[in-house]
Structure 1
Amino acid sequence: MKVVVIAGGQGTRIASVNSEIPKAMIPINGKPILEYEIEMALRYGYMDFIFIIGYMGEQIEAYFGDGRKWGVNIEYFKEDKPLGTAGALGNLKDQLTEDFFVFYGDTVMDFDMNAMQEYHKKKKADATLFVHPNDHPYDSDIVDLDDHGRVCRFYNKPHISDFVSRNIVNAAVFIFSPAILSCIEIGVKSHIEKNVLPMCLEKGMRLYGYLSFEYIKDMGTPDRYYSVCQDMISGKVTRMNRCNPRPAVFLDRDGVLSKEVNLLCKPEQLELIEGVPEAVRYINQKGYLAIVVTNQPVIARNLCSIDELNYIHAKLETLLGHEHAYLNAIYYCPHHPDNGYLEERKEYKIKCMCRKPSPGMLLQAASDWNIDIGTSYMIGDRVSDVQAGESAGCKQSVQVETNRPYALLDVLKSLI
């Protein structure tokens, strides 16, 4: 499988860092970012590259040559004029006859390429997008996925003022099949996110989102550049690869993140407790995964549909996103073992292993995201939350006072 690297941009926003070299050649720890991309791909056995170059592209070609120094093969496509992130791909139809990766040349990343490829094959996708939560979803391109990971819709920035969505952001790493190239007009400037992918969706192509919490950040602005430099130096970039087990903070929802409301079933009832955005942001900054595990008997009681619950959780993620905080995942139990309600849904009236105090949601999350339970924490406002964490094998489980402002942040600072 080939790796196409789009490295023709001028980098006007990051010019203050270094305006005399192309953006993809700006160094981190003495090496161009493109070199890190080659080294990562080579670790997973990907050796064939096509670099799309334009502005000051001769510097890229002079540095990397044919790739022999790195044990890879590099070919070049030179743009005579700027063609956007997609325009040049149409010229490569004869070379891209099998599925291929697409990278942007200004991206710092370390992810399991083989795992993404396996997902792409399993879904029989025409295109697979790497998606993840981030701390600025309000000015990012949002991807709406169904329960199976298939792309339903794109919400490209800028967003309307009252926009509500799950925090699932396009990270700008892709696997494309050759079929995608049919949506690109040769020689015409176009962009993958704004033009190509929406057209593919309109044509009914199979587009999927590969959700991962591995490190992928562009360095398109000076602030982001200095941030990713620090992350590279500290080892954070490598630590976040899915092959490395990570710790998590498991969080109950009602009474811990959002104010306790009896049988909350409408989005307008959801309100963050004071101090919660700071607390979740603290988890993000410390390198822990923020995983919500919540009992939601409103489903069994038929007070709320799955779609309505998903919208409530989208509002939760939107409120946090406005404060530069994000949740990595939300797990909920829709069951309730007790019968006797007129409106109840019988299929959810069962005894299960996911309803706290059972540890099912925590164990499922650990399996899904390679979480090291033994270094993780459970924080809730009920005894059942503590029992679930203890049964799962968490390092520590803590009960906080329901609805108390800054309770979560105070506990976190005592733990991590």
Structure 2
Amino acid sequence: MTADTLLERITDYANRPDPYPLYEELREAGPVVRQADGSHLIGTYHHIVALLHDPRISADPRNRPAFSSAAEGAQLPFLRLDDPEHQRLRTLAMRPFGPPHSPGRIDAMRGQIADTTKELLEALRGRKQVDIVDDFAYPLPVTVICRLLGVPREDEPRFRQWTDVIVASADVRPEEDTTERDRAGQQARAEMGRYLVHLAEQRRGRPDDDILSALINEPDPALRLTLEELAETAVLLLIAGHETTVNLIANGVLTLLRRPDQLDRLRREPDLLPSAVEELLRYEPPVHMRERIPLADVDVAGTTLPAGSSVVLALASGNRDPKRFHEPDRFDPARVDNQHLGFGSGIHLCFGAPLARIEAQTALGALIPHLGTATLVQDPPPYRQNAMLRGPRHLEIQQPG
């Protein structure tokens, strides 16, 4: 096979359990590898970081000539916008979420996260077989983000359906007509946005201690989101607030069960847990790829990325780049100098990272004492269809006896 089919092979579901040999092939063929569909694939750490910090590289899909007409005129989440509009909306969204305006909100969630983790584990007590995804890794971050935003937990089945469609519409797929997928995603996003705005409107003038209340009751008109902006921001926070954390926790459990020596080490050295989570973000990241669009012709190592073309940054490949990380294919929970790309880089660095870290550390810290005798029912497990947000769809483990 030739290098111009790498993106097609990476996104092929058959390679979901282990795309890392393909990332190695990408780095050896790179740093820039043109694909058969005209896109460019980049998998080397330093080039990825440089492009994520380059103002000539856009996150806005409307800068791509082939942008789907299904999404024309739609309000985009700030994740898909460029500065200065990105910075404006991101700043307004962060005011009730974290520092400097709400410095204690996330840290104050530690007790609730620990309590939810304990409740979930109690519900699993005595069971011989457990699905780590459905029984633990999914309900934990969903419960947390619902409390944080002010979304009724009982509405989870409703917004899970919307979330699945929206996430599928954001996946990276080569040589595919995305018109129908984009239309479905936009419809789901609009329905979910209306649902969240309705919840926020119920708190107008009657605020509670949640983010929707803070956003709808912002007293300064200059700092107030429009209803359209509120809808997109709330959708982004709800989805991003749980989807990637599910993968982080599930990938973490899978990695540790495959490496009983490291599992035992973390059981003996619990102080290593924060650095172990950072290593998981490098070694098995929840987000594998991001698409960008050059606003002008950009030269990378002698190859021109044409303006308006699709550039796919393989973050997970950068995390395994031997030119940046010593023995990158080895999971080392005590690794130092670990500036991974698990939360991206540049202006779009994930601002929910502190919450995800707390959730992952709490979840894995609580699970590790119970995993010593656990075995995987299926390895590799079934994976989610999505190639960009890669993680097990189910992760069944069993205890002896």
TM-score by structure 2 length? 0.24
Considering fraction of residues, name the structure with more helix: 2
Considering fraction of residues, name the structure with more strand: 1
TM-score by structure 1 length? 0.23
Structure with larger RCO (C-alpha < 8 A, sep 6+): 2
